Amino acid sequence: EVTGFVLKRTMQRWGLNTYLYGPKDDLKHRLLWREVYSPEEEVQLRTLILEAQSRGLRFVYALSPGQDIVFSSACDLTLLKRKLRQVSDLGCQAFAVLFDDIDHSMCQADSEVFSSFAHAQVNVTNEIYRFLGEPPVFLFCPTEYCGSLCSPSVSKSPYLQTVGEDLLPNITVIWTGSKVISRKLSVECLAEVESVLQRPPLIWDNLHANDYDSRRLFLGPFKGREPQLRRHLRGLLLNPNCEFEANYIPLHTLGSWYRVGKEEQKVANALDECEECDYCPDRALSTALHDWMEELNQPLQAGEKHFDLVLCLYLLKEEREGRDGERKRLNPPSQANYQAPPSGGSRGQKTQGRVICSGKGLLSESQVRLLVGLHYLPHEHGPSAQKLLQDLTWLKSNCHLVSANTKKTPPQKVDEWRGRASRFLSLCEDIAQLHCSVVGGANRAVLYDLYPYVWDLRNTALMAKAFICWLGCGKTTGADLLGVESEPWVFKGGVSGEVQMLLPIGSSSELFSHPPPLFPTSRLYNIRPYHSKDKVTQGGQESSMAHPDIIGDRCLGPCLALCPEYSFILEDELGVCGCVLGILDVRSFAKRCQATWIPAMKDKYPPKGAYFDDLIQLMEEDQGEYPDSLLYHFPSQLRLDALPELVDISVSRTLLTALLNALKANGSQGVFCEVQPTDRQRLEFLTKLGFLEILRGEARSREGVVLGRLL
């Protein structure tokens, strides 16, 4: 249901005059199109129609029978008439019949009656149009609704030629442009289709539609459409984002475009050039953003403005103008805890350079510009997104300047890399702060519409930041840094997807695709490589009674001492709250343990009682041998001894993925992890990340489950 508040505050304000009802979640719109509405549904639909009309808006009812209609069936035609007559009796005076995204083939019965698929569609559409009394607005969406779907081409398409010749002239044909999502629309590109259809088309514009990619959102301005188009169209329809709150700028700028077109038409005959009659997307964006700021910071609760998320809002010219015009436990309590050194802040205090985000605050204009720039348009990124991708690409391509294998690199080159890295990390921190502000903002309606996208990008930026920090430590050998190179927009996910594909394990989609937490949290996190100044704190009552370092030495010590470059630390506003450890080559690591670590532990914990007598034996078992058949495919290991317990489990996933990036970057082809069979939560956690069970109870003397995944 669309409330009067929505209709008045959005469509009327910006000159939008038509609302088309065609939601995918109304099963009686497409899948169950033959069924009439129940009395309760009639009441809702009538209310919607009358509400639109009371606001001076044309209500268009759309029906999509094309998936299973038998065009030659008198029964199907009767059911189609019955359905549309029911809607007409509710007060609707404008209709659309849609045959998009269906199979071109005809059933045997239709093939015996109609000479082509186009003839079948046109015949039924014309009959329905006459049955409804030839309403002033009647739309027809062809199966070939854009240039890329026409066979063999727009001008030579037999399907479009039949539509143009046989469809009644007052029926309007829908067209999306050269593509389903057209980057540009010009007068020239419409001339060909207008000639074939023998009428000006009505543009169904998918520029801001995001229903085809759950990770993309389009907040940029209406762009790439010349205002002069208005004189060559029956109308223009904007198919917006599924999320209502995301459509403020698209609809606002669409209204600006429409008004500029009207002014341009007024002065065209006088040949008067007026700067205000030129539509400028950037200028329209600034105006819309300024107006949106007030609404963004209003204390509006989710539910006060409700909008059917898959409806389309339209700008439609008057026909008379014609051609002229979740809280969940992830892991058991950590066996060892980390604490940052005094210079970096400790738990219980604010960490330098980061602030605690809590409560409801205001989104700043710079943050909203960042938000829009990161979620711009299908074929174009905003300035902030361009900068993010360009810097990440450059830093990755030039990481040899700070690599451990590089000698005698000119200092100015190193400074250039580190300066650009600093700017990249700063932008990642701005994204984290943006996420924090959206979660803590006063407008909860905006939060619940935009949160999944801001949260997804926050996680991706967190991971990219950790990767660049790791490169800056000079730990990479450059074995496998390139990730997947491709032209922009080939991969799904928008900016998040493109950043993902620049990382070494970017092609592993299961590491990046997961739902947002049930309970949004504004906590700020940071993932960074382990530093030698980090230290292990007291690990619990048992260890304090015997020796304060026992648990840390047993669980974390070998990795931190022998391969610290594969240890990543998780921090929140209060300090360090978790870590994940990795081993690049388990074979060589085991040899080094026996040669250096175990002797050091024997010196540190000399035999003096049963507890210490068994300690060294347990440490040796921890570093026990794994079968060659395992290590051949999975040479690396990860250890989850200190993963945190978080409301947002995606942070743990991001922490683990940061480690996998480092292992992959230095040549690892596979990684495994050993988990106790009773630890169901950790087993589930790894399984969702693409780990599969390899061994059970065969790896070492303990009964453990070994899970592995290829990188």
Lowest-pLDDT range, 110-119, 514-523, 582-591?
Answer: 514-523
Residue 559 has pLDDT above 60, yes or no: yes
Predicted pLDDT at 277: 60
Catalytic residue annotation: 101
Give backbone dihedrals phi and psi of 520, rounded to 5 degrees, phi first. -60, 140
Tell me how far apart the alpha carbons of residues 695 and 381 are, in angstroms, rounded to a whole number: 46
> What's the mean pLDDT in 630-643?
86
Q: How many CB atoms lie within 10 A of CB 445?
A: 21
Residue in this structure with the two tokens 């905006």, named with its chain if needed:
446
State pLDDT tens for residues 125-145.
Answer: 999 999 999 999 999 999 999
Predicted pLDDT at 656: 93
Assign 488 a pLDDT band (cuts: 50, 70, 90): very low
Lowest-pLDDT range, 34-48, 268-282, 591-605, 623-637?
Answer: 268-282
> What's the mean pLDDT in 494-506?
90
> What's the mean pLDDT in 51-57?
85
Predicted pLDDT at 6: 52
HSE-CB at 292 with a 13 A cutoff on CA atoms is 28
Predicted pLDDT at 531: 86
- For residue 422, the SS3 value is helix
Q: Return mean pLDDT, the chain.
A: 82
> What's the mean pLDDT in 563-569?
90
Polymer length in residues for the chain: 711
Assign 648 a pLDDT band (cuts: 50, 70, 90): confident
Assign 167 a pLDDT band (cuts: 50, 70, 90): very high
Residue 302 has pLDDT above 60, yes or no: no
Q: Do residues 220 and 377 make contact, with C-beta atoms less than 8 angstroms apart?
A: yes
At 577, list the tokens. 């709250």
Assign 228 a pLDDT band (cuts: 50, 70, 90): confident
Predicted pLDDT at 9: 52
Assign 594 a pLDDT band (cuts: 50, 70, 90): confident
Residue 172 has pLDDT above 60, yes or no: yes
Q: What is the DSSP string of 300-345?
A: PPTTSS---TT-EEEE---GGGTTT------SPPPSS-EE--GGG-
Predicted pLDDT at 556: 78
> What's the mean pLDDT in 583-612?
80
Lowest-pLDDT range, 215-219, 353-357, 673-677?
Answer: 353-357
Predicted pLDDT at 511: 83
Q: How many CB atoms lie within 10 A of CB 214?
A: 15
Residue 294 has pLDDT above 50, yes or no: yes
Tell me how far apart the alpha carbons of residues 97 and 126 are, in angstroms, rounded to a whole number: 11
Residue 630 has pLDDT above 60, yes or no: yes
Tell me how far apart the alpha carbons of residues 544 and 546 are, in angstroms, rounded to a whole number: 5
221 or 616, higher pLDDT: 221
State pLDDT tens for residues 65-108.
Answer: 999 999 999 999 999 999 999 999 999 999 999 999 999 889 99
Predicted pLDDT at 343: 33
Residue 602 has pLDDT above 80, yes or no: no
Residue 350 has pLDDT above 50, yes or no: no
607 or 571, higher pLDDT: 571
Tell me how far apart the alpha carbons of residues 255 and 230 are, in angstroms, rounded to a whole number: 12
Predicted pLDDT at 490: 47
Predicted pLDDT at 327: 32
Predicted pLDDT at 610: 55
Lowest-pLDDT range, 159-163, 431-435, 562-566?
Answer: 562-566
State pLDDT tens for residues 454-483.
Answer: 999 999 999 999 999 999 987 776 655 554
Query: CATH 3.40.630.30 spans which residues of the chain?
Result: 524-536+548-646+669-710
Predicted pLDDT at 479: 56
Q: Do residues 546 and 611 make contact, with C-beta atoms less than 8 angstroms apart?
A: yes
Q: How many CB atoms lie within 10 A of CB 190?
A: 21
CATH assignment, 524-536+548-646+669-710: 3.40.630.30
Assign 176 a pLDDT band (cuts: 50, 70, 90): very high
Residue 217 has pLDDT above 80, yes or no: yes
> What's the mean pLDDT in 171-191?
93
Strands 202-205 and 172-175: parallel
Assign 543 a pLDDT band (cuts: 50, 70, 90): very low
Predicted pLDDT at 535: 65
Residue 2 has pLDDT above 50, yes or no: no
Tell me how far apart the alpha carbons of residues 483 and 459 are, in angstroms, rounded to a whole number: 18
Q: Which CATH class is domain 360-523?
A: mainly alpha
Predicted pLDDT at 383: 94
> What's the mean pLDDT in 245-255?
91
> What's the mean pLDDT in 169-193?
94
Q: Do residues 456 and 495 make contact, with C-beta atoms less than 8 angstroms apart?
A: no
Please confirm whether the linkage preceding 152 is cis (ω < 30° from 0).
Answer: yes
> What's the mean pLDDT in 564-582?
89
Query: CATH 1.20.58.240 spans which residues of the chain?
Result: 360-523
Residue 225 per-residue DSSP state: B
> What's the mean pLDDT in 399-426?
87
Residue 146 has pLDDT above 70, yes or no: yes
Sheet of 575-583, strands arranged across:
526-529, 567-572, 575-583, 636-639, 670-675, 705-710, 692-696
State pLDDT tens for residues 501-517.
Answer: 999 988 887 788 788 88
Residue 333 has pLDDT above 50, yes or no: no
